[in-house]
Amino acid sequence: MPRVGIPAALIAMPSERQYRHEIAFFGKMLHQRGYVAAMDGNLSVRLDDSRILATPTAMCKAMMRPSDMVIVDMEGRRLAGRRNVSSEIGMHLLIYRLRPDIRGIVHAHPPTATGFAAAGMALTEPLVCEVVIGLGSIPLARYGTPGTPELTDALEPLIPEYDAILMSNHGVVAYGDTLDHAYMKMETVEHFAQIALVTHLLGRQQPLAGEDLEKLKLARTKYQVASSVVPLPCSAVRGHNGGRSQGNGDSSSAESSRNRNKDFRSPIKAKA
């Protein structure tokens, strides 16, 4: 079945050529949707066990050509390409080292999700069933200066357990078994952030809990979007309605909602 968003003619191309076109294609998508501005963001694909194809530094993602991409080894050393590789290649290399299943990575600054990251707020409330099934939870990594070991040190504990991460005062990184799946996860994060923002504006949230969350856990297994087990949070093992905030607006309800703002990930980790 052809991958979402990729013109059918590209599917038959040799791998490296195809990947170059895919990176250029999704770079334009990021720019068109306002997920990056100017020269923000970076994308990459794992070509094989020792080579990564990545975007160049200091270039607008809407203006990249397939020939602009850079090939580096697993230490970030340039093997091919006329341009210098993204200064954030270390983040990509870390993800590829920690997650052998990952073959595509997208880093961008989608406005709403980045707003949550700038506010120090993770997207960990189980508000939308599709997000619980598809991503589980979207944690917040502490701030690290871009392009330095601070950033990779902040991300390292989270990468094995999550497929998308908010980066404090920075942006979002998402990754998957293909570049288009990584891109779609980025879209999911931003869409969920917009929904979460509306619930904050409305002043109430009704998180999924108890039996509802257990059913979604089973759905994750059924649709094979998950692979490893982590404990359920307390809010997921309460009664059918006992774990939900009814949003009556009083202080005790608000405090209860804040206390539930924990990692709601299903006991099964999302597989890229």
pLDDT tens per residue across all 272 residues of the chain: 445 555 555 454 458 999 999 999 999 999 999 999 999 999 999 999 999 999 999 999 999 999 999 999 999 999 999 999 999 999 999 999 999 999 999 999 999 999 999 999 999 999 999 999 999 999 999 999 999 999 999 999 999 999 999 999 999 999 999 999 999 999 999 999 999 999 999 999 999 999 999 999 888 877 755 443 333 333 433 333 333 433 434 433 344 444 444 454 443 344 33
Q: What angle do CA 66, 68, 71 make, to 5 degrees?
A: 95
Return contacts of 158-162, CB within 8 angstroms, 24+ apart: 159/94, 159/95, 159/98, 159/99, 160/98, 160/99, 161/230, 161/265, 161/269, 162/135, 162/136, 162/137, 162/138, 162/265, 162/269, 162/270
Based on the domain organization, do 147 and 71 belong to the same domain? Answer: yes
Q: What angle do CA 266, 224, 101 make, to 5 degrees?
A: 90
Based on the domain organization, do 186 and 246 belong to the same domain? Answer: no
Q: Please, what is the average pLDDT of the chain?
A: 84
Based on the domain organization, do 125 and 107 belong to the same domain? Answer: yes
pLDDT for 248? 39
- What letter would DSSP give residue 142? P
pTM of the model as a whole:
0.81
**103 phi and psi angles, rounded to 5 deg:** -130, -5
**Residue-range definition of the domain harbouring residue 121:** 8-202
Which of the listed residues 146, 170, 202 is the one where a domain comes to its end? 202
pLDDT for 263? 52
Based on the domain organization, do 19 and 141 belong to the same domain? Answer: yes
CA distance 139 to 224: 22
Q: Position of tokens 């066990």?
A: 49
Which of the listed residues 164, 185, 202 is the one where a domain comes to its end? 202
Based on the domain organization, do 105 and 172 belong to the same domain? Answer: yes
Tokens representing 190 are 């931003």
CA distance 39 to 242: 47
How many domains is the chain partitioned into structurally?
2
Given a contact cutoff of 8 angstroms between Cβ atoms, the answer to whether 41 and 35 are in contact is yes
pLDDT for 182? 98
The end-to-end CA distance of the chain, in Å, is 17
CA-to-CA separations, 196 to 114, 206, 229, 259, in angstroms, rounded: 13, 11, 26, 16
Which of the listed residues 147, 179, 202 is the one where a domain comes to its end? 202
CA distance 98 to 214: 28
**56 phi and psi angles, rounded to 5 deg:** -80, 165
Q: Of 104, 41, 52, 46, whose CA–CA distance to 80 is shortest?
A: 52
Q: What angle do CA 70, 73, 78 make, to 5 degrees?
A: 45
pLDDT for 7? 58
Instruction: Give tens-digit pLDDT for 88-144.
Output: 999 999 999 999 999 999 999 999 999 999 999 999 999 999 999 999 999 999 999
Based on the domain organization, do 147 and 216 belong to the same domain? Answer: no
pLDDT for 8? 56
pLDDT for 219? 86
Based on the domain organization, do 88 and 53 belong to the same domain? Answer: yes
